[in-house]
Structure 1
Amino acid sequence: MKPFTHIDAKAAPLALSNIDTDQIIPKQFLKTVDRIGLSKGLFYDFRFDEAGQEKPDFVLNQPAYKDAGVLIAGDNFGCGSSREHAPWALLDFGISCVISTSFADIFYNNCFQNGLLPVVLPAEAVEDLMAQARGGNHVISVDLAAQTVTAPDGRVYGFEIDPSRKHKMLNGLDAIGETLQKAPDIDVYESARALDTPWLERA
């Protein structure tokens, strides 16, 4: 998993509440476990019409927000069914941070397991960031170590994050990576078990 430390990126405002995981990545794109290429399905019904043409009024299709690295979203982002494809699709599109007033629990947890940083801020802060993102300068900074979001006008907003999740994000540790940190202890245990209970090692 790629570590998340600090980014300076375009922020795209998506002022919609209760965006569920089927809207983030519709079910027809869930037939693969390959994380590469899922960006084509991200917000598919928002981005494309029935003929498969881009809808020019959708924020991520607008030239000003091409290559956005941060998404500023409405309340309860990521609700609905559990699917890791949702953070995968966002990351594959180039979005590594989502800012909202609240996230659905399962989506929030999946973000940390896959290297996507979900930032919770008060409504006033999100509204301010949305307004500034709609302006001419929409580059914001997100610093995980300092736990801050810096708006285009220089205003700084602090956010809370669980220390263990922060550590894993900073160091790029998913569940497997976290376990492998204990590899020496695991090796010692397995060697001792092989000596104490050799019958358990038989094929």
Structure 2
Amino acid sequence: MKAFGSVCSVALPLLEDRIDTDILYPARFLLLMDRDGLGTYFCHDRRIDADGHPISGNLVDDPRFAGAQVVLAGDDFGCGSSREQAVWALAGYGIRCVIAPSFGEIFAANCLRNGVLTIVLPRHTIDRIAKVSGSIVVDLRHQTITAGIDEVEFSVPSANRMRLLNGWDDIDLILEEEGAHVAAFEQRQQSEQPWLYEDAR
């Protein structure tokens, strides 16, 4: 998993409340088995009409927000059904951070699992950031957002922060927390039950 230190990017404003996982990744695409390329389907039905033509005026494809790695969102972002593909599509599109007043609980957990930083801020603060033209800087090391001349502090649970800073996935996290115990157990077992390891030599 890619480590998250800081991101400097324009921010994509998806500020309506309750943008759910079906908006982020429509259910009819759930049968797609290859995680690679799912970014194509991020907010698909907001971007492409039923005939396969681009929808003019949609924010996701607005040139002002081209290359955005940060989303500014409304309340309860990522609510709805539990589908990790919504986060895969978000990340596949290039989004590394979402800032919202609140998140769907499972969606936020899936973001953490996939290296996407979620930040909770009051709506009035998000609206203020959205008015800034140009790039903003999200710095996880110092837990600050710089938007124009404004600097906003945020807080992320320390365990989540360390996980994102180091790019640890679930297995990395287990090895970090329990690696010494696992190694000690293997050493003790190999000494006490060497026949279990004979084929590995």
Distance 1:201 1:83 in 2: 41
Quote the sequence identity (%).
38
Give structure 2 stretches of 5+ with no counterpart: none
Give CA-to-partner distance per residue, 1:40-80, whole Å, 9 cap, x none: 11111111111111112110111111111111111100001
Distance 1:61 1:121 in 2: 25
Residue 131 of structure 2 corresponds to 131
Alignment partner of 1:85 is 2:81: no
Alignment partner of 1:13 is 2:9: no
CA apart distance, 1:6: 0.4
Q: Which amino acid in the other structure matches residue 142 of structure 2?
A: A
Give CA-to-partner distance per residue, 1:5-24, whole Å, 9 cap, x none: 00100111112110111111
Q: Which amino acid in the other structure matches residue 169 of structure 1?
A: L
CA apart distance, 1:138: 2.8
Kindly tell me the number of residue pairs found equivalent between the two proteins: 198
Give structure 1 stretches of 5+ with no counterpart: none
CA root-mean-square deviation: 2.0
SS of alignment partner, residue 55 of structure 1 = coil
Distance 1:172 1:30 in 2: 26
Distance 1:65 1:198 in 2: 60
Which of 171, 184, 188 is matched with 1:188 structurally?
184
Distance 1:54 1:32 in 2: 21
With the length of structure 2 as denominator, give the TM-score of the two structures: 0.91
Distance 1:179 1:31 in 2: 30
Residue 39 of structure 2 corresponds to 39
Task: Pick which of 165-174 and 25-34 moved more.
Answer: 25-34
With the length of structure 1 as denominator, give the TM-score of the two structures: 0.90
Which of 160, 165, 168 is matched with 1:170 structurally?
165
